[in-house]
Structure formats: structure tokens, C-alpha cells
Amino acid sequence: MVLRRDWWKILGVLLVGYTIVAGLVGQVPRLPILNESIRNLYFHVTMWFVMLFLFTISVVSSVAYLTNEKQIWDIRAELAVKVGMVTASLGILTGMIWANYTWGKPWVNDPKLNGAAVSFLGYAAYLILRQSMEDAEKKARIAAVYNIFAFVMMIVFIQILPRLTDSLHPGSGGNPAFSSYDLDQNMRIVFYPAVIGWFILGYWFMSIQVRMRILQQKLNQSQWND
Amino acid sequence: MERLNKSKSSNPLGGLLFVLLMLISPLLQAQDMDVPMADVFRAEGKIYVVVAVMLVIFSGLVTYLIYVDRKVSKLEREMRDKDTH
């Protein structure tokens, strides 16, 4: 690793490392029901933020592909979704553990939770759609168009609809549960670095996948040439 | 806190007051000692053991990530050399 080129990877590792320490040892507000589980904010919520970050990269890449038809943008769009699906799965699993101890059940029929599930399926459909087509250019173009649709639906399902109705999940309509510690300085100095650190790690995962895909394609091409 | 939020949006003076209050809010915060937290656990100090274990696991994962990253870099170099020859 070259320091001049890879400094951001070190920054990401340091930020997440700091979060593990400060997230467990730091001060948190004393709230009933949540108790110490409030610390999950640093770990559960960041997973969803990374997913949003990667899906945003993906939709931007898809738009870039549709404008200039360069294959690299199609590769970026696909692998950002794949890594985003991993962090979304971690978000769902950690959310279910947290819900089990605070709401009493791992899954409640709540607009935020169901919205997340529907968006997850929407992106699973994106990956299945890709696999269903042989022709590389046609696949890339149709997948890019679908990706824009999936992104808009995801924003509607997890960011807009839960705010219009009542939801148990914090950050949604009629639920002030998190407002008392949304403003807590002690938590902000851990939560924001956590988000930035995980953004960097998520991008790092994605970049390794992209580089491997490019290598694989070059290898396939050279096999044809030999 | 709800009221402070509203004053932020209504006028600039309220916004200033909001920022000031937010800065000193950790000092003002009345900690409700009735809410059960892991105080005894923390008093024994052994939470640091858990932190240490988590850091070891995290650094192990990061070491693996760096290993994969370097391996890909090596393959990229080999591919470049092969292309130029």
C-alpha cells in the first residue's frame, strides 16, 4: 500500500476503530427501554447509511453509463449494489436483534421495516435481471434503467412513506423517540465519525470488487486472443 | 428539546440560543439515575476487555482486507506486464 494513494483507507480504519472504543466506553443518555442498547446507533444505523451511500454511487454510475456507454460504469453500478446488499442484510439482522429486546419482537409490521424489506427485494430483482440477459450491452442498458427506478422506489419506501405514517422506528412520523438524543453531543462525536469511517470501508470493499472484475475481464479477453 | 427545535426555525436569535444550549447540553443534562444502565459492569472496568477483544477481531479483518488489496494490486501489475510484452 502506498501512503500517498491509500491514505483514505487508513483514515477509514482509524475512524471505525475509534468508534468501537468510544461507542462502548463513551457516555450515552440514560433512556428507559433502550438502556445500553442505545449504543447500537453507532453500529446498526451506520450499516443502512453505507447502503444508502453505495446505492447512490450505483445510481450515479448507471446514469453515467447511460450517458457515455463506458463499461466501467456498468461494473461500478453492479458491484456497488452487491456490496450495498451485504450491508443492508447486516442492517436487517442487527435491527431484528435490537427490535427483539426493545419492541419485544424481531419483526413488527411497520412501514419502515416493510419498506426496507421491499427495497431489498427491489435490488435483489436488479441482480436477477442482470443474470437473465446474455448480451452485455443490452444487459448494461436495461439494468441501468431499472437501477434508477429501484433507487427512486427505495427512497420512497424507506425515507418518505414511513415519515407520512406512524412508525415505531425512530426518525419516522409521530415518533419522537430519538429526538432527545439526536441532539446529544456525546453521541454525535461518535456517530458522525462512524458514518464517515464506514462510508470509506464500504467504498474500499466496492473498489476491490471492481478491480477484481476488471482483472477477470482482461483475463477473459487475453484468453480469446491466445 | 422539541421547543428548542421550533425556536431554531422561527428566528435567528432563537437559532443562536439553540446552538449555545446545544454546546452546553451535556452539562445541563439531568441524568436519570432510575434508568438501569450497565453501571456495575462498567464500575468493575471489565468493559475494556470486550473493547480489546473487538479491536483484535477488527484488526484481524482489516489485515485480511489489506492482504486481499495487495494481492489484487500484484495481479494488476502482472497483467500490465503481460500486456506490454
Q: Locate the chain B residue with the closest alpha carbon to A205.
A: B65
**How far is A124 from A144, CA to CA, in rounded Å?**
14
Q: What is the DSSP letter of A169?
A: S
Which element (helix H / strand E) includes A138?
helix A136-155
Whether A78 contacts A146, CB under 8 Å: no
* B25/A211 touch (CB, cutoff 8 Å), yes or no: no
Note the pLDDT of residue B7. 42
Sign of the CA dihedral with A99 first, then A105, A106, and A112 last: negative
* A185/B23 touch (CB, cutoff 8 Å), yes or no: yes
Would you give per-residue pLDDT tens digits along chain A (226 residues)?
A: 678 889 999 999 999 999 999 998 888 887 888 888 889 999 999 999 999 999 999 999 999 999 999 999 999 999 999 999 999 999 999 999 999 988 889 999 888 899 999 999 999 999 999 999 999 999 999 999 999 999 999 999 988 888 787 777 876 665 544 555 555 788 888 999 999 999 999 999 999 999 999 999 998 888 776 6
Whether A134 contacts A142, CB under 8 Å: no
Please check whether residues B49 and B65 belong to one and the same domain: yes
Task: Compare CB distances from B25 to A25, A185, A219 and report the shortest one's residue.
Answer: A185
Residue range B21-37: average pLDDT? 59
Note the pLDDT of residue B21. 56
Residue among A98, A102, A79 nearest A90 (CA): A98
Please check whether residues B66 and B85 belong to one and the same domain: yes
**A177 near B CB under 8 A:** no
* B26/A179 touch (CB, cutoff 8 Å), yes or no: no
Please check whether residues B82 and B63 belong to one and the same domain: yes
Note the pLDDT of residue A184. 78
**How far is B13 from B68, CA to CA, in rounded Å?**
54
Interface test with B, best of A13, A18, A30 (most B CBs within 10 A): A30
Note the pLDDT of residue B9. 46
Domain regions of chain A by residue span: 7-172+187-215
Note the pLDDT of residue B40. 64
The ipTM, to two decimals, is 0.75
Note the pLDDT of residue A221. 85
**A11 near B CB under 8 A:** no
Please check whether residues B24 and B55 belong to one and the same domain: no
Domain count, chain B: 2
Residue numbers of the domain that contains B26: 1-30
Note the pLDDT of residue B18. 63
Interface size A-B, in CB pairs within 8 Å, comes to 76
Please check whether residues B20 and B3 belong to one and the same domain: yes
Q: Say whether pLDDT at B1 is over 50.
A: no
Please check whether residues B16 and B42 belong to one and the same domain: no
